[in-house]
Amino acid sequence: MAITAWEQTAATKRQSVLNAIPEKWRIKGPIPTPTEQRDVTGAYIQQFLSPREIEITETDAVGITERTTTGRWTAVEVAEAFCHRAALAHQLVNCLHEIFFDAALETARVLDAHYTMTGQPLGPLHGLPVSLKDQFHVMGVETTMGYVGWINTFQGKTNDPRYLTHESELVKELRAAGAVLYCKTSVPMTLMSGETMNNIITYTHNPKNRLLSSGGSSGGEGALIALRGSPAGFGTDIGGSIRVPASFNGLYGIRPSVGRMPYEGAANSGDGQNTVLSVVGPLSSSASGLILLFKTVLGAKPWLGDPGVLEIPWREDIVEETRKLVQGKPEGLAFGIIYDDGQVRPQPPVERAMRIAAETIKSLGHKLIKWEPPSHQTAAAIANRAYNLDGGADVLQNFALSNETIHPSVVIDASGSPQKTAQEIAALNVEKREYQKQYLDYWNSTAQVTGTGRPVDAVICPVAPHAACIPTKYATIGYTAFINVLDYTSAVVPVTNADKSVDVVGQEGREYFGELDRKTEGEYDADVFDGAPTGIQLFGRRLQEEKILVLAEYLGEKIKKAST
């Protein structure tokens, strides 16, 4: 069968990414199939690395900067170790869209020279490799965002002077803080999917279980960090796109409220849709890694470079206050908990993760109340309408650039439905605001039942009905999209991995919420899911990033301690 033009273009691009991997870092011989070797993290990937490289890449972001900002590790040796490991990661799970190791090593050399000359780090991220979802523009590097039609263009525009020259605000701020940028990670075409697949990199598999998805849309970030090919990176989230890959890969991630992290100058899907906004946020192997990145970006005063960022600096007073609450002063914390969204009951590994989190909270002496908010399904419906306001016009235009085929996992309506009118959009905005108001009132009302005199401090809930997911079988955004509609702060805390010996569907029949519930339970296969990570969400009201980050760090540590 003849290869089409877009297939050729995609194949060329795919090969060019592989070609950017130095010969010495290429995996010799065939890579085992997922059935032969599901889990390519840990010992599997370590076989290709030196002990020193393993030491460096398995140190978390804070540990790395402690060493690189004090001259104990050079930026160059850290950059080389991560470039090597990222190269391996990409060969194992297709997680990179762009590789620019040479530029990274040049940056690292400059940083080392700076340190040698001044005895001081350039900034708080001096020498820290930071990965970026392929929406961020980096000077000299292409951004395809998973569209074949964007290859050799600036966001689909040919002969645009910004091609290879433009840099996103976040990127500038990371550079100024001393970060080393070295790769951009894979995304699903359109960004609107809980999996990561496109016609350039094909599919990004889950490194803990390559039968499954790494999640989406920041799936490349999730997979790369899970393989420790990056200590921390930035994704975006409009319906779960940071939280899903964080959960599916056993990582921490945070979806902040709109206006805290700079989006300025980054590519996007459906740009200008203003009802439910995409936001930028970090993913990392540690909660402290999230805090480091979050605090550093705010330290750069991003509101001076991005008109969409709110002038709210990192609030150390909230950190202190939250730390006191954590220590039980004066009366400890109160959490809400919601096990299912009334539409799809989570599969056994996720249910177990929720129970682990609940038991941990109770064993620490904190309050746990049943969370009974305005329906999350209502919110998910609002989100879906917001995503589809233009009837798919934006994504269809981008597909039309190359005539590439559309993957079935894209959740946006690409059928070319009629666009919504101004008044229909306004009505949706009002509906959203009314939902937000109801939810806020409910939140406040819990002050009556927590026993702390305050409403709940945070709420825990699943991230998705499944631990990772079988390709094309991502069930629902019902567990994540309500956060985007509310514009609340939600962090993912890793909890456990699916275990076929304990995670089995109950023998007794149960009543199903509906067809999707029955289908999702039916799709659970203890064997297939075995080993897949799952986390939980920990969410707070709008703009509660400092509080939620501190609580995520606390709860994550306690859960880890409880399970070891």
Which residue stretch of 138-146, 174-182, 359-367, 386-394 sits at the interface with a copy of itself (rule: CB under 8 A)?
386-394
**Among 267, 17, 234, 293, CA closest to 147:** 267
Q: Which phi-psi region, left, alpha or beta, contains residue 73 (left: φ > 0; alpha: ψ -120 to 50)?
A: beta
Q: Is 428 in the site for a copy of itself (CB under 8 A)?
A: yes
**349: helix, coil or strand?**
helix
* 109, 473, 500, 542: which one binds a copy of itself (CB under 8 A): 542
Q: Pattern of binders to a copy of itself over 67-106, x per CB under 8 A?
A: ----------------------------------------
Q: Is 211 in the site for a copy of itself (CB under 8 A)?
A: no
Q: Is 240 annotated as a binding residue?
A: yes
Choose the catalytic residue: 168, 186, 218, 241. Answer: 241
Q: Is 471 in the site for a copy of itself (CB under 8 A)?
A: no
Give the pair of three-digit tokens for residue 346: 């989570």
**What is the closest distance, in whole angstroms, from the C-beta atom of residue 162 to a copy of itself in the complex?**
12
Q: Is 222 annotated as a binding residue?
A: no
Q: Is 549 in the site for a copy of itself (CB under 8 A)?
A: no
* 278 in catalytic set: no
Alpha helix segments (H runs only) across 446-523: 481-486, 515-522
Label the pairing between strands 533-540 and 489-497: antiparallel
458 CB burial (10 A radius; 0-12, 13-18, 19+) = buried
**What is the closest distance, in whole angstroms, from the C-beta atom of residue 254 to a copy of itself in the complex?**
17
- In degrees and rounded to multiples of 5, residue 198 shows phi and psi of -160, 170
Which residue stretch of 109-117, 136-144, 196-204, 537-545 sits at the interface with a copy of itself (rule: CB under 8 A)?
537-545
Whose Cβ is closer to a copy of itself: residue 305's or residue 471's?
305
Whose Cβ is closer to a copy of itself: residue 29's or residue 161's?
161
Q: Is 391 in the site for a copy of itself (CB under 8 A)?
A: yes
Q: Is 512 in the site for a copy of itself (CB under 8 A)?
A: no
DSSP 155-196: TTBTT-TTTTT---HHHHHHHHTT-EEEEEE---TTS-SSS-
Which residue stretch of 15-23, 174-182, 422-430, 474-482 sits at the interface with a copy of itself (rule: CB under 8 A)?
422-430
Q: Is 157 in the site for a copy of itself (CB under 8 A)?
A: no
- In 447-547, beta strands by DSSP E: 458-461, 489-497, 533-540
**Among 241, 237, 240, CA closest to 219:** 241
Q: Is 359 in the site for a copy of itself (CB under 8 A)?
A: no
Q: Is 332 in the site for a copy of itself (CB under 8 A)?
A: no
* 133 in catalytic set: yes
Interface with a copy of itself in residues 258-287 (CB under 8 A): 264, 270-275
Q: Is 217 in the site for a copy of itself (CB under 8 A)?
A: no
Q: Is 490 annotated as a binding residue?
A: no
* 55, 66, 160, 311: which one binds a copy of itself (CB under 8 A): 311
* 84, 97, 172, 420: which one binds a copy of itself (CB under 8 A): 420
Q: Is 217 annotated as a binding residue?
A: yes
Q: How far apart are CA 488 and CA 447, in angstroms?
A: 18
Q: Is the peptide bond before 563 cis (omega within 30 degrees of 0)?
A: no
Q: How far apart are CA 207 and CA 56, in angstroms?
A: 20
Contact in structure between 108 and 180 (CB atoms under 8 Å): yes
**What is the closest distance, in whole angstroms, from the C-beta atom of residue 264 to a copy of itself in the complex?**
6
Q: Is 295 in the site for a copy of itself (CB under 8 A)?
A: no
Q: Is 445 annotated as a binding residue?
A: no
Whose Cβ is closer to a copy of itself: residue 228's or residue 432's?
432
* 415 in catalytic set: no
Q: Is 421 in the site for a copy of itself (CB under 8 A)?
A: yes
In sequence order, the β-bridge partners of residue 232 are: 284
In sequence order, the β-bridge partners of residue 58 are: none
Q: Is 509 in the site for a copy of itself (CB under 8 A)?
A: no
* 130, 279, 468, 543: which one binds a copy of itself (CB under 8 A): 543
CA 115 from chain centre, in angstroms, equals: 32
H/E stretch holding 133 reads strand 129-133
H/E stretch holding 521 reads helix 515-522
Whose Cβ is closer to a copy of itself: residue 310's or residue 504's?
310
**Among 484, 466, 507, 490, CA closest to 547:** 490
Instruction: Give the residue carrying structure tokens 């540690």.
Output: 286
* 71, 299, 308, 471: which one binds a copy of itself (CB under 8 A): 308
Contact in structure between 454 and 390 (CB atoms under 8 Å): no
Q: Is 241 annotated as a binding residue?
A: yes
Binding-site residue total for a copy of itself (CB under 8 A)?
Answer: 44
Q: How far apart are CA 564 and CA 560, in angstroms?
A: 6
Q: Is 427 in the site for a copy of itself (CB under 8 A)?
A: yes
**547: helix, coil or strand?**
helix
Q: Is 152 in the site for a copy of itself (CB under 8 A)?
A: no
**What is the closest distance, in whole angstroms, from the C-beta atom of residue 332 to a copy of itself in the complex?**
21
Give the pair of three-digit tokens for residue 61: 């972001």
Choose the catalytic residue: 214, 217, 257, 402. Answer: 217
- In degrees and rounded to multiples of 5, residue 185 shows phi and psi of -105, 160
Say how many Å lie between the first and final Cα of the chain, rounded.
54
Q: Is 135 in the site for a copy of itself (CB under 8 A)?
A: no
| Annotated binding-site members | 191, 217, 238-241
| Annotated binding-site members for substrate | 191, 217, 238-241
- Which residues belong to the active site? 133, 217, 241
Residues at the contact surface with a copy of itself, assessed by CB under 8 A? 264, 270-275, 303-308, 310-312, 389-391, 393-394, 419-423, 425-430, 433, 436-437, 439-440, 444, 486-487, 541-544
